[in-house]
Every structure is written in C-alpha cells, then in structure tokens.
Chain A
C-alpha cells in the first residue's frame, strides 16, 4: 500500500507529538528506519545525542539539525587533537553554534587547550559537566571561565582545582546558577567567599567533602537566591556555620548536612526555625543521640517533602510530630535508625500520610504489622527499602501485592523471611522496576518464576548469593523480563552454562555481575557474548573455570563493553591481549591475580589499550615488574592505576 494516504492524514506535526512519547532507544532506532518521513521527523525532533566515537561526530550531527545537547563521556579518550578535529580547525560547524549542553565527564585525556577550544567554539553553552576529570585544575578552570553564558557547571572530583581556578570561574561566569564542587578538596573559605560575591544568581551549590570552615557558610548565607545547598561530609564546619545559614539564605529550600560530625541538633533547629518553607532536609549520620530540638522544630515545617535521618536514634515523638504537622511528606529516610518500632510506624502513617519513598534499611525490629500499616495507608508507595528487616514474611508481601500496585522499587536484601510464596504474592506488583533479593537464602527458581512471569517492567534484579537460584530461574527471567538491564548473579553457584546461555535472550542486558560461578565455562560465556550485544559492564571475578574460548568470544563480539573485572580468572596472555586490544570501548579494567598471564602478557595488553583506558587495577607486585615506560604512558594519557 502506498505511503501517501496515511501519511497525509498523519502529518509531520502529529507524528512528532506521537514520537515524543517514544523515548526508548530500540524503539527510536526502529522508527528511524521505517521510511524517509519518519527519519526526517526523528532527526528533526532529536535534541540530545550520546556519541561513542568522536571521529564521526561532524557527519552525524549534520543530520540532526536540532541537537543542542551532546554527551561525549562514553567516547574513548577525547583529547585535544580530537577536539581540534571536532571544531573543524577554525571553520565552526553549525552544531557548535547551537550547543547548549555538553557532557565531558571522565574525559581525562582532555587538557586545558582542548577545553578552551571547545568553550570558545560554543558561544551559547549553558551547561557543562567535567566531573571525574581528576587531573583538571586551575588551567582548565581558566578555560571554563571563557564560557560567559554558563549557568550549570559540574566539577565533582576535579582534584587539581584551587581557589585561584574557582576565582577565575566566578569572575568569568557570573550568570552561574548551579555549581558542583564536590571533592575538590583544595578549595578553601577564600574561594567560597569570592564565589558568593561574584555569582549572585547561584541557586544550587554543592560543597560536599570540602575542607571548608564555618566562615564559608557565612559567605554562603549572603547568597540571596540559593535554594539548594549540599555540604555532605564537611567535617570542619560547626554550629557557628549553621547559625550564619539560619540568619541568611532567604530562598533556601533544600539542605544536605549528612555526615557533618560537628553539628548539633539545636543548631539545625535554629536554622529550621528561620526557614519555615524548607522542603527537603537530609541529615543522615549526623546525630549520635536523638535530635530532640530538630524533631520539635519540624512542627513548623508545614511544607516538608523530604526528611532523611538515617543513622540517628529515634523515638515515637518523632513520628507523632511528623504525622501531625508534616502533611505533605513524601519521602522519609530511617535507614539504620535505632528505635524504629511497629508502633512508631503506625503513628507515622496513620491518618493517610501518603509516603512515596520509605527507607527502613536495618530497622530490624519491624514486623509484618508495620508493613501492613504502610501497605494500607500509603497506597501509592513507589520505593520501599527493607534491607535486613528479618521479621518480614510473606504476609507483608501479600499485602504489598494487594494494595501497592504502583510499587517500583523494593529492597529485600538479607530478609530471611522472604520465600517462594512471598514472591508469588509480590508478583502482583506488576510495575516493579528494581527488585533486590540479595542474600535471601529461602527463595528458589519457583519463586523467581512468578516474578518473571508477571513483572515485565523489571530493569534491575539483584540475586547476590541466592543459593537456591539455578538455571531454571534464569530461563524464566530471560523469557519474562525482557527489559532487564542490570543483573547480579554473584555466588549463585548452581548456575551452569545453560543458565548463562538463556541470558542471551535479554536484548537490553548491559550490566552483569557473575562472580565465582564455578560451573560456568567458556561455552557459557561465548553464548552470552554472541547474543548480548549491549553488554557494557561485566564482572567475572573468580570464575576460574572459564577458559580462553570464552574470552576470545568476548573480545570478538562484546563491542560495547566499557568495564570489565577479570580478577582471578584463568585467562592467558593471548586472551588478555585480545580482550584489551580488540574491545575499543573498554575504559575500566580490573586485572588482579591473573595467574596465567605473564609480565610480558600484561605489557602487551596494556600497550594495546593505553589509548583508551581510563582506569586499571593491578596487583601491587606488578608495580615492580612492569617497565616504567608503560606506567608513564598510561599516566600521561590520563589513566588512573590502582595497585591492589
């Protein structure tokens, strides 16, 4: 039948609207191949692209006239030379003029010259992510400061950044609205002070793990527009700092003071008092005693949405106060909190407090009664974390299956009471996306079968050390959970080649952890590699019975592999060389205790991959055995070597 009639009814405008509801990768790819009209619609609609090889960017981008966001973090080794080629050596390609957002996370090969070239070529650039470029320092910051339109800068773990670099950014990018300086440990109070004076538009600031003092908070308190402040692990800041914040930051809505050892409950209470419109408070692992003043201060926070108090001892007064005053609470974190009892949970959820996210990790006093109360009151609960809640049985799962049909994420790690019957009841929660059943010794293939049959949306499944799971369970999962992306089968020793072969039927599997599966041989790995084309992360530690035939198949077929753990495997010199040499997207390799690989074998393999490798883990004794030349080459290319 001719394309004309239907496509004339469904003009491009309508096609674009329909297309906007199709965000899943494989669907978009299928869409593009239908006909020229569909291709045009997709190309025009696409605004974001994540590139895997830098050489073809220009040709590719010329086909998508509306791209304004580019992610190059998966490109193996972007360096200054690649950038020069990208920006056309002077003749700026069109996409540079349009680009608003650029992700260069982990681009450790890039230096300040290349970064400056990019910034200068993209005048409209508003957001840039250079997180985990651990060698970035003040020169790179100077390059960033040429981006006058920058509003969002992420510099997590740019370890070389000092106050000097931060000052350059503060002066050059005065429109800055979001800045992340997490782990940039050379930053001091001086840098933060200048930042507060120059960047008056700042709305979100992350100074987690910096060695700043309360003086920084004095500077921060003058930021009129600041809405989100994260200062996790700022161990030097004390109550004086919170007092400054309490008297300033008029727009503050969200605060994260987790792991700040020196803060007291009364200081945080003072801050709360000054900010009754706070929406989110994260205070995990701050308080060693019950934070009485904070809890009482919660009475004033009528709009509170998120409260995270992981690690703090709690009492029933907390739950009473929340239930009475914080009617809009949707997320609560009580992980590892002592004193969370069934009665407390009753008080928390009674009267229709509609929580969406509950973290009750290690609240081992809770029984089925508490879960029953939650299931009954919080019908739209989305995420429930019950790790180590040992008294939870199939009764709870029955109630969750009955009442909580929106449940997406459930963590039952180490819950001894979970069994096959429980999984049968749980399978009524058909919208489950992430299910963690690690260390659940009482589940078998039978229980897994129920889950696999009904929960077709599952993307992440954790079966760590589930001794009862075997090949039949994997067969069920690979037939029913077609959207599965992340799977952990470590130490499920019953699994053999047959089970691993079944995994080949999971078209989206990208992250697989299969440590110590001693019954899996080269046959199984070959079957996996041939069929799971999207495999990006693979952990084979301790799979001592996989021989070279498996690794050769991996080297030949698993083109998308980015991260691999081969520690304690029986791979040989040739196998290692093939894997490291052939897999052009491999960036992170753990190669500890490879007994069958000689020093020379390591040399050859590392040399073959030094261009792209960003992280490698080797046994400490290798340090003396490898030639200094190869170690230097790796370092020069921005690769981080960890000696075990």
Chain B
C-alpha cells in the first residue's frame, strides 16, 4: 500500500497496482518510496484522480464498455475542475487521462467567439486595439487551412 498526501495534508492509502498508472508515482515506488507527498494537487482533485485510476486499473475485455461509459461521465465536470485535472494528470504523468481531457476541454471552447473564450479561461485581453486590428487584418490575408498531420517525416 502506498500513501499519498494532498496539498491540503489529507492522506490516502491506495494499492500499488492501481497507482502505477501514474508515471511519476511509478518512478517513486521503484525508488522504494511508500509515502508520496503531492504539494501541487489538492484533495478534491486527488480524489477524482484516484477514482479514475481505480476504474482503469482493471482492464479486462468485458469491462471495456463500462470504462467507456465511466470516461464519458467523468468528463462531465466544470471547466475549472477539468483544468485542475489536466494540471494534476500532467504532473503525475497519467497519459490516458490527459488524452481524454484534451479533446474534452477543446470541445468546450469550440464554436465560441473570442470574448466567450476569454470568459471561460478568465483571461483579460492584453492586446492594444491597434494590435487586435493587426491580427484581424492578418487573418484576412491568409485563410488558415487544416493542419497537416505529420505526413512528411
């Protein structure tokens, strides 16, 4: 059993077999750590991460449909929760969770005008009106096509 400690000093005891889905934790376990402090992950996020890892630890064929349903529901969170998860999953190197989170967040900012995206990310516009005009003009002279997916390497 491995003990994880969140930034709020809450402790969680979890089986090693579940936690090795996290690359970071796996490395620490291989170095014989049994107590792992996670100062950049708060309790709420850590609980969710553990929930995810528990569900994905058992990957037999019959459970695959269940796992897909779980993943779909798991993504139904507020954007702030998703951001917190992305940061934590990145820190903990849980690639499967990240691959789920990226398109989910991308979906939330599709089909939105610039101002809406600013509100979602709580960002203030730091362009001067002149700079903004410049970017809009540039957009006009070029029609951005879709990305070429690495076919030339």
Contact = CB atoms under 8 A, between A and B. Distances in A.
Interface of A: 1-3, 5-7, 9-10, 13-14, 17-36, 38-39, 46-53, 56, 60, 63, 68-69, 71, 74, 100-101, 126-127
Given A9-B87, A21-B103, A34 B146 contact: no
A10 B124 contact: no
Given A22-B110, A29-B144, A35-B127, 16 more contacts: A2-B124, A6-B122, A13-B90, A21-B107, A22-B106, A24-B110, A25-B143, A30-B113, A31-B109, A34-B123, A35-B124, A48-B146, A52-B142, A56-B142, A60-B141, A68-B152
Contacts of B118: 34-35
Contacts of A69: 148, 152
A60 B139 CA distance: 9
28 contacts: A3-B123, A10-B83, A10-B86, A10-B87, A10-B121, A14-B87, A21-B107, A22-B110, A23-B146, A24-B110, A27-B111, A29-B139, A30-B117, A31-B114, A31-B117, A33-B127, A33-B132, A34-B114, A35-B125, A38-B117, A39-B127, A48-B146, A50-B144, A56-B142, A68-B152, A69-B152, A74-B143, A127-B152
B126 A48 contact: no
Interface in B89-126: 90, 98, 102-103, 105-107, 109-114, 117-118, 121-126
B84 interface: yes
A10 B87 CA distance: 7
Contacts of A14: 86-87, 90
B32 interface: no
Contacts of A38: 117, 123
- Interface of A: prevailing SS: mixed
Contacts of B141: 51-53, 56, 60
A9 B126 contact: no
Nearest to A48: B148
Nearest to A16: B102
Contact of A27 (B98, B110, B123, B139): B110
Interface of B: 83-84, 86-87, 90, 98, 102-103, 105-107, 109-114, 117-118, 121-127, 132, 135-136, 138-139, 141-148, 152
Contacts of B121: 6-7, 10, 34
A419 B54 CA distance: 50
Nearest to B86: A14
B144 A33 contact: no
Contact of A18 (B106, B147, B148): B106
Contacts of A46: 144, 147
Contacts of B111: 26-27
Contacts of B83: 6, 9-10
A472 B135 CA distance: 39
Contacts of B144: 25, 28-29, 46, 49-50
B139 A32 contact: yes
A18 B105 contact: yes
Contacts of B132: 33
Contacts, number: 128
* Residue with the greatest number of chain A CB neighbours at <10 A, chosen from B84, B105, B142: B142
Contact of B147 (A2, A10, A47, A51): A47
A48 B112 CA distance: 23
Which 3 pairs between the two chains have the least Cβ-Cβ distance? A21-B106, A50-B145, A1-B122
B148 A47 contact: yes
A49 B139 CA distance: 11
Given A3-B126, A6-B122, A35-B126, A71 B102 contact: no
B84 A33 contact: no
A69 to B, nearest CB: 5
Contacts of B102: 17-18, 20-21
A34 B122 contact: no
Contacts of B127: 33, 35-36, 39
Contact of B142 (A23, A49, A101): A49
A625 B66 CA distance: 75
A38 B103 CA distance: 17
Nearest to A71: B145
Contacts of B145: 25, 48-50, 71
Contacts of A31: 109, 114, 117
Nearest to B125: A35
Contacts of B113: 30
Nearest to B117: A34
B110 A3 contact: no
A14 B148 CA distance: 20
A20 B147 contact: yes
Contacts of A53: 141
A6 B123 contact: yes
Contacts of A63: 138
Nearest to B110: A27
A18 B108 CA distance: 11
Nearest to A9: B87
Contact of A33 (B86, B106, B136, B143): B136
A24 B138 CA distance: 17
A35 B147 CA distance: 22
A100 B152 contact: yes
Nearest to A7: B123
Contacts of A51: 141-143
A563 B106 CA distance: 34
A9 B84 contact: yes
A18 B136 CA distance: 23
Nearest to A534: B143
B123 A35 contact: yes
B114 A50 contact: no
Contacts of A6: 83, 121-123
A49 B125 CA distance: 25
A56 to B, nearest CB: 5
B114 to A, nearest CB: 4
